[in-house]
Structures are given as structure tokens and as C-alpha cells.
Structure 1
Amino acid sequence: MISSLSIKNYALIEKLTIDFSRGFSTITGETGAGKSIILGAIGLVLGKRADLTSLKNKEEKCIIEAHFEIAKYNLKPFFEANDLDYEEETIIRREILPSGKSRAFINDSPVNLQELQELSMFLIDIHSQQQTQELSDENVQFKIIDAIANNKETIIEYQLLLKTFKSDQSKLNSILKRQSESKKEQEYNTFLLDELVAAKLKAGEQETLEADFEKLNNVEIIKESLDKALAIANEEQIGVRNNLNEIKISLQKIGSFSTDYSAILERVSSLTIEFDDISQEMNRFSEKLINDPEQLDLISQKLQVIFNLQKKHQVSTVGELLDIQLNLENAVLELGNMEEEITMLNKSIESKRVELDGLADKIHSNREKSIPVLSQKLIAILETLGMPNVRFKIDITGSENYFSNGKDELEFLFSANKGTDFGLLKKVASGGEMSRIMLAVKAILAQYSKLPTLIFDEIDTGVSGEIAIRMGEIMKEMSREMQIFAITHLPQIAAKGEAHFKVSKATVGEDTQSELKLLNQDQRIVEIAQMLSGTVVSESALNHAKALLN
């Protein structure tokens, strides 16, 4: 429950702190006095968006703080899940800065609006006139039935499963589309792949083949050049090797005379060894050279295959051709994998479909059992609210469609009078009837929900007299299980409150201010008398007010 509310620099309120009690509290005040401001401030605490127009003084920040007693409502899991400090008296604070920025805190820990909104769902339900019209909405009607049917956990399980079911369906549709597109290209891709595989390409082989081709294609000139070089090197009288040996012998004679000469001798000795190695290498090359026209033709053919493939695929290296081959292999393999994935997804979808149908059947069964209970409870309450002939016709029909809350379609019909046909609420129910039906719904839901606080914002539209008294009695009865606030213009309802607050507006100098004040017994009598007779309070109005309060 909300135990206190503090407002600073908001709308027409300069500064206000008010404490609230358990049970049933009523809030009254003239039109425009500021009741909507109080609701707006509470709305900000619950996570509604704010703007600079909320600031009374545009140069100072607005602060709204509310204290909630939450020990009874099993909210520790929420605080742990959001890494927040849990306090049995939890404080929520909103700040709106002159810059327009907004900040929110739960027990002094900064939070975002989404976290604030999630927590507020466990704390307060503000019922406005607009929500009375929402009673005609099928989703709202389902929520009413499901609360009585105790379907909450089953629907959550169904929704989680439905999410994965739809995700699988989306994946399947995407794969089927890709498969259809891939099949058109498969034949051509397979042809290209077979062509590349047949070529038996290897990384770096083009360079090797081109080098071998050059050798075989020029074998005669290579042989002639090597043999000539060997002849020059090894000719007995004037060959290079013989000359180097002569130089070496000459230097050996003077090597001991100076380190300079010995150094030259050492270098010539090294040159002689290197030259011998070169001669041997040229000799090996010459001996290995073979004129092989068949091998030359095979190399030429392989190079031509490579050149043709490079031209076809618009690349310049074997490495790039191998990359293309890998991509084609993956593309062809992917089509095979698609078939396997399609089979797996179909099995998963069918399995989830069976499970979804089972949950939907359970939801449907619970709803069917709850409908007579809801109808009986609604009729019982509405009969006390001056609708003795009210009837409801609530039909739940299963369908093949998977909706967000099951597979049911709902027809919620209503008749207020004998001899009149059933019709949709929004078409046949008057404003006063809708207000009474909504109060009856809220009274029933209060028995099934653990919500701490419910605020009725002028739910008494279109009713008066004895009906208003009974509406007040129902709210008071509801307050045994939860904290109830009723913003009302009716003295009959205002008198039923255990605490009575008045919203008033006053002009202070050039400024207009709103305030919320807890009335004592004498002040309540005057306020209710004014609600009965207007500004001029008559003796009979005072007596009537006392009677209502008693």
C-alpha cells in the first residue's frame, strides 16, 4: 500500500506531504481543484513520462516521492532480479530537472522507466473513466476471465512457447525461400564445381607448371648453354678452374710473408671451392635435362585448363579459383543441409504445436469453468446496484488460430432489462451501467488479485442516490483486502470512506496553488453537506451529511 506521498514543484502544487492509511479513502473537490494533479503525480511515480510543463517553477526541479509498504506482497524476487535493495518500506522518487531530463530511483538506486513501470504493476491500479470504456475490449474481457480461471501461469508458459513456435516458423519460411532460390542455381553451381574439381587444382601449382614449361620448351638452348659453360670452366689448359688453381699456387708462395697476402689466399681458396660447387651443379642440371615432348604437351594442356578457368571466373590465380571452388562446395552442401534443417524444424514445430494445443486446451477448460462463476458474481453485485434484470451471455469458442493468450474467441454479451436482446457492452450499456459493471468487475478481481492499492477515478459517472450508496459499500467491502481510493463527486460515496481528503485550489497573491488536506469529522460534515446542497450549506444538508456519515 502507499503510505505517504510528497510533491514539490509540480503543476499547481508548490509543496505537499500527505500520509495515507489502510482501508477506504475518498478524495473530493470541485472540478479543476487539482484531483487530476494528484493522479498525475502518482502516475509519474509509477513510471509515466514527464515533460517541462509539469514544473510549477521552471527554474527548480520537481520531486515526487512515494512510500510503499510491500512486506506482504512477495516482491523480493523482483528486487533481486533487478539488482535493487529490498526494503519493506520501499521509496520511489521521480525528479524532473529544469533541463527537461527525468530521473527515477527505487530505494535511492537509479532505475529506468521500464523497471519503474514493471514494479508499479505490483503496487497500484489506477482505474480511470477511459478504462471503463476498455471493458468492451476483448483483451480486457479475457483478462477478467483469466484472473478468475487462475490462468496466469499457464498463459505465461503458453506465451513463451508460442514465441519459440513462431520463431521456428519464421526460420522455416526463410529456409524454404532460400531453398527455392538455391535450387534454381544448383544445377549451374554443380556444373561449375565439377569443372573445378576435375581440374584437380593445387595451391601454387601454376607457378611450378609455368617454370617446368619454360624448361621443357627451351631444353636445347639450356643444354647448349650449360655445356658451353662447363667447357669454359673445366678446359684443361685455359679453363677457369685451372686458372684459379694457378692463382692459388702463386699466392701460397707469398702467403706467409704478410697477413694481407694470406687473406687474399684464403678468399681465392673459398672462391675455388664455390666455383667447384657451381661446376658440379651445372653438370647435374645438364645431366637431368631430357627432351620430353609428351610431358611438355601435358603441362601445356594443364596450364590451358587453368587459364580457361581463370578467364571464366574472372580471376588471375589458382588460389582464387580454389576459393571459388570452396564457396561452390559450401553452396551445394548448404542445399543438402537445408533439407536436414527443414526436417528438424518441421519436427520442432509439430512438437511445439502439440504442446501449445495442450496448454490452449487447459486455458480453454479453465475459462469455461470460470464463466458461470463470473456471471453469477457479476449478477449478484449488479442486482444490489439497481440492475435486477441484468444478464450476461459469455461464450468461449475454440479456433485454429494461435492468439497471444490461447486459441479462444470470445463473445461477451449483455442485457440490462427483461425482454431486450443481448448485445455488445459498448453498444447497449449506458454510461451508468458501464460504471456499475466495471465496479463489479473490480470487486470480483479484488478477490483473486494480491494488488495492494486500487484507485477509482470517478467510477461513479452516471449514478446517484441509493445506487451511489451501494457502490460506496462495495468499495468499502473491497478495502478489507486492499487499500482503496475513490475520487468522487458523490456525497454518498465520499461518506463511506474511513479517511476523507479534500483537494482545493486557492489564489495566493499572483499565484494559484492546489493542496490536499485530510478532513476531520466536522470538516467532513461540511464538505459532504456542500456536495449535497452547494456552497450555501443548509441545516437539512448538514443533517443529511451526518446521516450519511453515520
Structure 2
Amino acid sequence: MLRSLYVRDYALIEELEVEFGSGLNVLTGETGAGKSILIGALSMILGERASTDSVRSGAKKAVIEGTFDDADTPRINQLLDENGIDALPGGSNGSAGRIILRRQITDRQSRGFVNDTPATLDVMRAVAAELIDLHGQHEHQSLLRVEKHLQLLDHFGGLEGLRATYAERYRRVEELTEERAELVARRERLEEKRQLYEFQIEEIDQVAPEEGEDERLDAERRRLSNAEHLFEATQELYHTLYEAEDAINDRLVVARNEMQDLARIDDAFEEQLAEVKSAQISVAEAASFLQDYSARIEFDPERLAQIRERISELERLKRKYGGTLEAVRAHRAEIGEEHELAADVEGALAELSDRIDDAQAELSEAARRLSKKRKEVAARIEDAILEELAKLDMPESRFEVRFTREEEEGGWIVADDDDTRYAAFQTGMDRAEFFISTNVGEELRPLRAVASGGEISRIMLALKTILAKSERLPILVFDEIDVGISGGVARKVGRSMHDLASYHQIIAITHLPQIAAFGDEHFRVAKRVEEGRTVTGIERLAEGEERAEQVAALIGGEDVTGAALKNARQLMETGRSGKGEPTGPETGASAQ
């Protein structure tokens, strides 16, 4: 709900702040008092284009700020997240449900803010569209947006379950269709590269490189290339360590024995004795390794030539396919998979097409079932709205929900009675639009084409009354809803608005006492002169005589008579009790 509206230096408004109630809020005042200025200010925070002329003369900027509570809806939260705007606490249960829309207008530019975060007009409009309907400015009338009609119909009929089933099947067809498109594109790419892949596969397979083979061959090549040097060096080392007349091993044995003698005399030599023993053992083991290695050395020029040729083949592959043997093998695996897929792509496409056909059949069944239910719900809405319009003195009206489908070659949805294919949308195969005629002999026209003024406001009121329980939009603003009505019709409009206020917060500008009497809150808008300048102000009227006097002024003008005051009290009593009609003389025969 709109908790409060603050306006400063906008048109004739110097500064005012008004807190609205949750039910029916009525605004009254003399013609030219500034009621429309308030609506204009409200439209600024809804994202309307601003005129620099709207800044009060002598002021630097105009500021309009609206605070909305209990605005914690999935769509609003999504908009906040998408635009990096922090949520504010303010829901009735302590949730993050407060939205603050602010507009600043100067003689050069205007700036918008959502929850104190700078926002574009598009973002402000998107957030405001989820909060408020401003009747009298078509841009904010949700019922005039054709894309909303189907949603309203589904909500009214409780078709969310069927719609969710359809949406799930729609996503499944969408996913499979995207998968097929990717596979077709891949097939085309594979066909272009098929011959290249075949050549590369044959080239790599002829060499058939093994994991780590290049490193193993390089080690073997080094050994074979240096076989003579390795043999001579190992023989010489073995001789020095073990076979020479004064071999290192023999000298270490002598040193070990002498060290043992010393250790028997003084155990301080024990640690060094252990070191000498270890050195002698290490030398003996090294000599054994050298003798064995020398015996295994091969002098094989033919094997060396083979290795060099093999290494050359591997290096050629490495240069062409990634620089390492691991890269060559990885490339072979990748193109092997691609080549196998190319060979089987037709089979994969056929299998995927069968799955799409099955998914489309399920989607078509869900679409037909949803469409059938929508037509049943539409019939109920049509009857209910005609009944409501008759109450609002529009008895000759006709109302119709028209459905259209879009034939499409290759469409996802197939008709039940023939092979005609239709386009599938995220909400079904139907497009829905409200049509109306308010006078005998007139053709039905789209609701969005109905003339503005009191007629469109009453139509909106009738629609809102019927759809109230299903419509999530919490705030309705009616401007000029009483144009061209009076007497009993005005009372009916007032009663309808009062009933509708059980589901929505309503702010209504009216000139009629019959409507004002039904208000849960009553505000008077008036002009005054301060220091030689005209200023528009607003005040909440106290329950009782203050309100009665204002209603009486709507009946008889500024000079309130006893009869007018009595009639005003009767009207207010009728509004509070919700029973019957006042029995006094006819009140307010026309708008003041």
C-alpha cells in the first residue's frame, strides 16, 4: 500500500506530506484546488516524463517521494536484484517489503531513485507497474495492457496449476529443440572437417604414439649413443674401487680394522668406526653396480638407428599437434570422438526428433486443456462483468474475451481435430484481449481503445471488482471516476469502490458526495494564499462533523445548509453501515 506521499516545490505545492489509509481514501476540493496536481506529482514517481515547468517558481528543484509498504512480491524482488537495489524492511510481517520511489526535478534534468539507489525511468516504471494503477493516465492502467489480460483471466479462474504444467512442458520442448539445433550446427561443422579429421587420424595412428614414449626413447638413445664411453668409464671405476692393487675398498678395509683396534682401547672411536664401516659397504655396493651395469651395456647401432627414426616421427607429430606427446594423444582422442559422432549424427538426430515429437504431443495436450478451461473462465467473467456494469448505469454494455491463435508452420502445438500447427508461447497457445461496447449499436472494440474519462473509470471499476480477489496489484488511483454520473448511479459507484477497497487500497478524487460518503479516510485539498503566493495544501478530515460538513459542501456548495448537513450525515451513515439507500432528497444531482 501507499503509506505516504511527500511533495515539495512541485507546481503550486510548497511542501506537504500525506499518509493514506489502507481502504478507500477520498480526496475532495473545489475545482482548481490542486487535486490534479497531486495526481501529477504521484505520476512522477511512477516514471512519467517530467516538465521543467513543474518546478515551483523560485525553487531550485521539486522533490516527490512515495513510500510503499507490503511490496514484497517475487517480481519486485527480481527487479531489485537485477538492478542492484537493496530491499528495505517494511512488510506487515517484518519482511523486506518497503519500496521508496523518489523523483527530483530541476530546470535542467530529473533524477529517479528506488530505495535511495539512482534508477532510470524505465526501472521506476517497471517497479511502479507492480504497485499501482493510475486511472486517468492510460500508461499505468494494467487492465489496458493487453499482455495482462491472459494473466488476469488465469488468476481469476485459478488456472495456475494447469499453467505451471504447460510451462514445464514448454521448457522441455525448448530444451530439446535447442539441443537439436546445436546438433545440426555441429553436424555441419563436422562435415566440413570430416576429411581433415580422417587424414589426421590416419597420420597419428600410423605412428601410434604411446604415453611417455618420447621420454623413454630419448633416455635409451642417450645410452646407446654413449655405449663405448659408458663401458670404459664403468670398467675404470670398478677397477679403482675394487680390483686395483691399492683399491679403495681394500684401503677402507684396512682402515676399518685399525679403527676397531682403537675402539677397543677407547670407545670414543665407536662413532667414527661406524662411519668407516658404512663407507666401505657403500664402496662395495657401488663396485657391484658398476660391474653389473658394464656387463649389460649393448653395442647396437641398428637399435640406435631405429630409435632415432622413431623419435623423428614423434617430433613431427608434436610439431603439428600441440608441441607435446600428451597434446598429440589428446588431439587424437578429441577428433576421434568428433569423427565417431559425425558418423552417427543422423541416428542421433533421428532419436532426438522422436523425443521432440513426444514432448510436443505432451505440450499440445497441456495447451488444449488450458485453452478449454480459459474459455470456460472467460464465459464466467463476461457474465459477471456485464452484471457489474449494469449496476454502474451501463446496462447496454457488451463485454467479450476474445482468443486468438497464431498458425505457424512447424509450430510446437498441434490442434486436436486436424494437423494444423500453432505457435507456442510461454503462457500457452492463446492470445487473449478484452473487448467492450458500452452503447447499443456500437461494435465491440478493444478495451484499450475505449475513450478516457468517467466511462473508462467505471469500466475499470467493474473489471477490478470482478477480478479483485485474483489481481495482485494492491493500489488503485481513480481520477474523474464520477464524470457524467449522479444520484443513484453515484451511490452504486461509491458502494462498488467501498467493496473493492476490501481487497485493494484505493485513492479516489471525486466531486460527488455519494462517493465521498463511502470513504474510510477523507482528505480535503484546498488553495490558500501565503505571503502573496498561492499554495496548495491537503488535510485529513476528522470523523464526524468535519467530514459531514465537507460532504454537505459537495451537496450544496460552500454555504452549508441544515438540510445539506442532514443529508450528508445520512449518506455517511449509509456508507458506514453498508445497508440500504438514504431516504432524504436526491443529493448532488451533478458534479460540482
TM-score of the superposition, structure 1-length normalised? Answer: 0.69
Relative CO higher for 1 or 2, CA cutoff 8 Å, sep ≥ 6? 1
Q: CA offset at residue 192 of structure 1?
A: 2.9
Q: Is the 8 A contact 2:29 2:35 kept in 1?
A: no
Output the amino acid matched with 1:359.
A
Paired residue secondary structure (1:480): helix
The residue aligned with 2:537 is 514
The code of the aligned residue for 2:587 comes to L
User: What's the Cα RMSD here?
Assistant: 5.8
Provide the residue aligned with 1:110 in structure 2.
Answer: none
Q: How many residues align?
A: 517
Instruction: Give the Å deviation of 1:262.
Output: 12
Q: What is the aligned partner in structure 2 of residue 455 from structure 1?
A: 477
Name which of 437, 443, 446 aligns with 2:468: 446
1:148, 1:42 → 2: CA distance? 28
Pairwise CA distance, 1:368? 1.9
- After superposition, the C-alpha distances for 1:484-531 in whole angstroms (9 at most, x for unaligned) are 74634543664553454322233433773521332521232224444x
Question: Conserved in 2, the CA contact under 8 Å of 1:248 and 1:265?
Answer: no
Please state whether the residue corresponding to 2:499 is helix, strand or coil.
Answer: coil
The whole-number CA distance in structure 1 between the counterparts of 2:70 and 2:254 is 112
Letter in structure 2 aligned against 1:353: Q
Q: Structure 1: how far apart are the matches of 2:139 and 2:102?
A: 27
Matched position secondary structure for 2:376: helix
Q: Give 1:407 deviation, angstroms.
A: 0.7
Distance 1:486 1:544 in 2: 24
- Counterparts of 1:261-410 in structure 2 under 5 Å? 277-313=285-321, 315=323, 317-328=324-335, 331=338, 349-350=356-357, 352-383=359-390, 387=394, 389-392=396-399, 394-399=401-406, 400-410=422-432
Task: Please say which of residues 320-329 and 208-217 is displaced more in the overlay.
Answer: 320-329
Alignment of 1:173 onto 2:181? yes
Write the distance in 1 (CA, Å) between the matches of 2:306 and 2:275. Answer: 47
Task: Report if the CA contact (8 A) 1:360-1:406 is conserved.
Answer: yes
Per-residue CA shift, 1:369-421, capped at 9, x if unaligned?
23333333444444565655444454424441122332113465544555555
- Which of 461, 473, 482 is residue 501 of structure 2 equivalent to? 482
* The one of 93, 115, 137 aligned to 1:129: 137
Q: Mean alpha-carbon deviation: is it higher for 257-266 or for 145-154?
A: 257-266
2:190 to 182, 186, 206: 182
Partner residue of 2:75? none
Aligned to 1:470: 489
CA offset digits 1:50-86 (Å, max 9, x no partner): 99x999999999876677899xxxxxxxxxxx99797
Give the whole-Å Cα distance in 1 for the aligned partners of 2:373 and 2:307: 81
Residues 175 and 510 (structure 1), Cα distance of their counterparts in 2 relative to 1, 3 Å cut: farther
CA distance in 2, matches of 1:32, 1:337: 79
**AA matched with 1:356:** L
Q: Which moved more, 1:324-333 or 1:206-215?
A: 324-333
The residue correspondences of 1:89-100 to structure 2 (distance < 5 A) are 92=98, 94=100
Question: Is 2:573 the partner of 1:548?
Answer: no
Using the TM superposition, name which of 439-448 and 246-255 deviates more. 246-255
Q: What whole-Å deviation, never above 9, does each CA across 1:142-191 have from its counterpart, x for those lacking one?
A: 34544543334433443455345434433443343234323433453354
Alpha-carbon offset, residue 33 of structure 1: 1.2
1:457–1:487 Cα contact (<8 Å) kept: yes
Q: Which amino acid in 2 is paired with 1:33? A: G
Matched residue SS, 1:356: helix
Counterparts of 2:402 and 2:29, CA distance in 1:
40
The structure with more helix, counted as a fraction of residues: 1
Partner Cα distance (1:244, 1:21) in 2: 107
1:233–1:240 Cα contact (<8 Å) kept:
no
> Aligned letter for 1:473?
K
Query: Using a 3 Å threshold, how does the CA distance of structure 1 residues 391 and 503 change in structure 2: closer, same or farther?
Result: same
2:416 equivalent in structure 1? none
Moved more, 202-211 or 540-549: 540-549
Q: Decide whether the 8 Å contact of 2:523 with 2:540 is kept in 1.
A: yes
Change (3 A) 1:250 1:163: closer
Query: Is 1:523 the equivalent of 2:550?
Result: yes
Q: Which amino acid is the alignment partner of residue 193 of structure 2?
A: E
What SS does the corresponding residue of 1:516 show, helix, strand or coil?
Answer: strand
The 8 Å contact of residues 166 and 366 in structure 2, kept in 1 or not, is answered as yes
CA distance in 1, matches of 2:523, 2:561: 22
Mapped pair 1:491 → 2:498 = no
- Give 1:232 shift: 7.3
Amino acid aligned to 1:517: R
Residue type of the alignment partner of 2:466: I
Q: How far does residue 130 in structure 1 lie from its aligned partner after superposition?
A: 0.8
CA contact (8 A) 1:5 1:17 kept: yes
Change (3 A) 1:372 1:326: closer
Instruction: Tell me: CA distance 1:209–1:486, structure 2 relative to 1, closer, same or farther (3 Å).
Output: closer
- Distance in 2 between residues matched to 1:300 and 1:14, nearest whole Å: 95
Residue 360 of structure 1 and its aligned partner are, at CA, apart by: 2.2
2-side partners of 1:514 and 1:170: how far apart?
Answer: 60
Q: 1:454 to 1:187 in 2, by over 3 A?
A: same
Amino acid at match of 1:368: K
What's the secondary structure of 1:369's corresponding residue?
A: helix
Which residue identity lines up with residue 508 of structure 1 in the other structure? E
- Cα deviations across residues 236-284 of structure 1 (Å, max 9, x unaligned)? xxx4546975797699789979999999999988777655555444432
